[in-house]
Structure 1
Amino acid sequence: MAKIIPFKAVRPTADKVALVTCRTYDDYSSAELAAWLSFNPYSFLHVINPAYVYSQKITLDKRFKGVAHKYQDFKSDEILIEEDKAVFYLYEIQSKNQKFTGIIAGTSVIDYQNNVIKKHEDTLQYRVELFKDYLHQTHFNTEPVLITYPDSTEINTFIALRKQSKPIYDFSTTNKERHILWKIDTQSEIDWLTEHFEKIPNLYIADGHHRSASAELLFQEDQHLGNPNLNFFMSFLIAESNVKIYEFNRLIRDLNGLSKEVFIQKLAENFIIKVKDQELWKPQNKFEFGMYLEGRFYALFYKHESNSDTSLLENLDAQILYDKVLHPLLGIEDLRNDERIDYISGKQSVSVIKDLIDEGEFEVGFMLYPSDINEIKTLADNNLIMPPKSTYIEPKFRSGLVVYEL
């Protein structure tokens, strides 16, 4: 049984919402960040990056306190307003090729601890503790955990009917997305959604493993304070068929001392190799890999055999690449921290990988076939953890759109 709750959110005034909301902080280049902060006084970037000119010169403690103060300034200036009562939201993101629709709600830390909310990625403890400290100091979060639920005809019907009503927001952004938000505030609707989610045995984290782990750590440390908001964390709940899963492709700076000829010879022990020359080739199926090396594309077909002893994790493409290539041949051990490896999401064209290698920054690139939601769920159900940077999942939430206070 999955427990969700409405919450008393803080959000921008309708006339300023397009100016306030922003992409996640890490999504901006330095030049973009400086431009938005210089020319848009309403941007939520001012809250999450206060005194940005001096941000490298102050301690984290002062920085977090600055975030808290700037957030309160936005509330005092009535850029942000607080709901009169606890509500759910229905949120839709439309781009040229995609439409994502889901429910914004509070999800239970206890469900997370009891594995009702399931995980498929590992977390770095220092990042969990850092964001926990951020939450402790600022007392708010505006980036929900992306959680999937099994497709439901009843919920789909509810959403379709609810979308016929007038939204509280309907605005477009400079990255050519349209964002629409409806408030779900009648008691009958709140009760219906709450009861329906109680019938769902498990929810699955798609994106936001560090945020959910930080919420749990904060709950463990501060629950004695009696703040009921610590019992939940904000989530964007979306049907599993509605998420878009991309791969993370790998870029390696060198061949670990191997010549091209020796490297390809060693690859042939585990892969059937076909030269694709200048064709921008991407894998079309599981157990296929693309490679770009010294001006040529290659298709690599893994010589896998049906074997009941092979674990679910060993059959994961990202794990195969690590076990058969990155670790034994290229000497990559730590996928998170090794400076010789970098990642680029499958949203970007293969030509970007080609250009980076042709420019000399990297020696070889590998393209993977994306995992699907069933593979992710099966791993989570078996308490297995995917390798770092295995998936890039959309949708991505706008910072400052809805705020969960602690």
Structure 2
Amino acid sequence: MAILHPFKAWRPIPDTVEEIACVPYDVISVEEARTLAEGKPKSFLHVIRPEIDLPEGTDPHEDRVYEKGAENLKEFLIDGTLHQEDTPHVYVYQLIRQGRPQTGIFSCVSVDDYNKEIILKHELTRPKKEDDRTRHLLTQQAHAEPVMLTYKDDERTQELIDETVQQEPLFNFEAEDGVVHKVWRASDSDAFVEAFSSIPNLYIADGHHRCKSASRAAAVEKEKNDAHTGDEEYNFFPAVLFPMSNMNIMAYNRIVHSIPDNFIETLGQKFELTAGAASSPSQKGNISIYINNKWYALELPIADNPNSVEQLDVHRLQEHLLSPLLDITDPRRDNNISFVGGIRGTEELEKLVNNGDAQMAISMYPTSIEELVEVSDEGLLMPPKSTWFEPKLRSGLLVHTF
């Protein structure tokens, strides 16, 4: 059963939260981070993207980048930018995007639960990215950003969430992208802990590398601690946990940088193409392709008696188009394919093709949360970049140190 661990969060005072809170490290480039943090010395980007405080062109894996992140966090903790709660708490976090609320629980979860596969994954992690995140954790002695988890809807947990949001929130602000963020401190954290003790599994939605890095960092800290008990703070990491019914997954689209000559004719020989199609497919199993200033629709073949992975559009695309027709056998590493989050819209796909950055764009139908959970329950793995979750969690709201 899942462990929920209240923690003594470091947090901004309400009057400064808008200045401090920022987008997650992995949804923006270094250049975008520099722009967003310009004129904002208290932006949490200085902690999660510390290379912005070093000369342009600095390798993000240089020693001084990790040291700068730790230095910036330490300064925030000392100068009062962030202050620590006196006692451990569970929190409730609500994001409202375009009028749609998404409300979950902000707490710590257990590294042991991750290691024992009570917290289930659906994607592979890359060692180089694991190394980077683990080093940030160990150098800062903190989990600066939460992961996003989901769980199957639970009546008692929902009652507690509903009760908590009737109180006055700690934070209530609208970010520059129009998303409203609200955080409440639960009046009865133990009730949340008890409710989660009956929930069998948690599922990683967004943050596979941060989960794995938390596990690796805990192993390092355990090795150094002869008196290890398992109750140390390094054995827990922060997460926002949403019931499945609250989750919103957008498409994760693709662009292909180079295609063979007359590729549209090749596609027409293998699939039934419909020209003049909509830029977004209307149902599962369909994709829209943009080539030569025109959108085409096609239906992806599916295997007989498919398992949970073989039913996924991203798998069917890989199996029947990317691999056999473009020799993209490992999209995780192939430089001929890039991925575009659905939040950027199909206009971004058209722009990338029209300006020559790519020769073909592929607009996908979103993977469902039910598909994600089914794959996880079966112990299988999705192809890379199968899901794009919106809205994104804000960083710098509640920080966990160990």
Q: Which TM-score bucket, shorter chain as reference?
A: over 0.9
**What amino acid is the match of 2:352?**
L
Counterparts of 2:81 and 2:301, CA distance in 1: 58
Question: What displacement does 1:261 show?
Answer: 5.0
Q: Which TM-score applies when normalising by structure 2? A: 0.93
Partner of 2:53: 52
Counterparts of 1:93 and 1:231, CA distance in 2: 27
Partner of 1:284: 282
Partner of 2:379: 383
Higher mean Cα deviation, 347-356 or 377-386? 347-356
Question: What displacement does 1:3 show?
Answer: 0.7
Higher mean Cα deviation, 282-291 or 195-204? 282-291
Partner of 1:179: 181
Contact persistence 1:120–1:380 (CA under 8 A):
yes
Asked if 1:5 is matched to 2:8, the reply is no
| Sequence identity (%) | 32
Choose which of 112, 115, 118 in structure 2 pairs with 1:116. 118
Contact persistence 2:149–2:203 (CA under 8 A):
yes
How many residues were matched structurally? Answer: 395
Contact persistence 1:151–1:240 (CA under 8 A):
yes
Counterparts of 2:281 and 2:36, CA distance in 1: 38
Question: What displacement does 1:351 show?
Answer: 2.5
Counterparts of 2:264 and 2:28, CA distance in 1: 40
Counterparts of 1:32 and 1:341, CA distance in 2: 22
Partner of 2:246: 242
**What amino acid is the match of 1:233?**
F
CA-to-aligned-CA distance 1:63-119 (integer Å, 9 cap, x gap):
212211111111221111011011111111122242111111111111111111111
Counterparts of 2:145 and 2:30, CA distance in 1: 21
Partner of 1:210: 209
**What amino acid is the match of 2:232?**
P
Counterparts of 1:164 and 1:261, CA distance in 2: 56
Question: What displacement does 1:57 show?
Answer: 3.6
Contact persistence 2:70–2:139 (CA under 8 A):
yes
Q: What is the 5 A alignment of 1:2-401?
A: 2-28=2-28, 32-50=32-50, 52-54=53-55, 56-57=57-58, 60-184=62-186, 186=187, 189-224=188-223, 225=225, 226=228, 228-255=232-259, 257-268=260-271, 272-275=272-275, 277=276, 279-304=277-302, 307-308=304-305, 310-401=306-397
Contact persistence 1:94–1:179 (CA under 8 A):
yes
Question: What displacement does 1:392 show?
Answer: 0.5
Question: What displacement does 1:120 show?
Answer: 0.6
Counterparts of 1:396 and 1:157, CA distance in 2: 24
Cα 1:211–1:300, aligned 2, differ >3 Å: closer, same or farther? Answer: same
CA-to-aligned-CA distance 1:241-288 (integer Å, 9 cap, x gap):
111111211111122x342354224432xxx3222x2x4332122211
Counterparts of 2:152 and 2:350, CA distance in 1: 38
Cα 1:65–1:281, aligned 2, differ >3 Å: closer, same or farther? Answer: closer
Cα 1:35–1:290, aligned 2, differ >3 Å: closer, same or farther? Answer: closer
SS in 2 for 1:370: coil
Counterparts of 1:304 and 1:281, CA distance in 2: 22
Contact persistence 2:302–2:316 (CA under 8 A):
no
Question: What displacement does 1:181 show?
Answer: 1.1
**What amino acid is the match of 1:243?**
M
Cα 1:311–1:47, aligned 2, differ >3 Å: closer, same or farther? Answer: closer
Query: Deviating runs (4+, > 6 A) in structure 1?
Result: none
Counterparts of 1:25 and 1:204, CA distance in 2: 21
Cα 1:35–1:260, aligned 2, differ >3 Å: closer, same or farther? Answer: closer
Higher mean Cα deviation, 70-79 or 3-12? 70-79
Counterparts of 1:164 and 1:124, CA distance in 2: 42
Counterparts of 1:37 and 1:302, CA distance in 2: 43
**What amino acid is the match of 1:231?**
N
Contact persistence 2:278–2:297 (CA under 8 A):
no
Counterparts of 2:189 and 2:374, CA distance in 1: 31
CA-to-aligned-CA distance 1:200-225 (integer Å, 9 cap, x gap):
11111111110001111112222132
Contact persistence 2:249–2:388 (CA under 8 A):
yes
Higher mean Cα deviation, 19-28 or 64-73? 19-28
Contact persistence 1:250–1:367 (CA under 8 A):
yes
SS in 1 for 2:215: helix
Counterparts of 2:32 and 2:204, CA distance in 1: 30
Partner of 2:399: 403
| Structure 1 unaligned spans of 5+ | none
Cα 1:32–1:258, aligned 2, differ >3 Å: closer, same or farther? Answer: closer
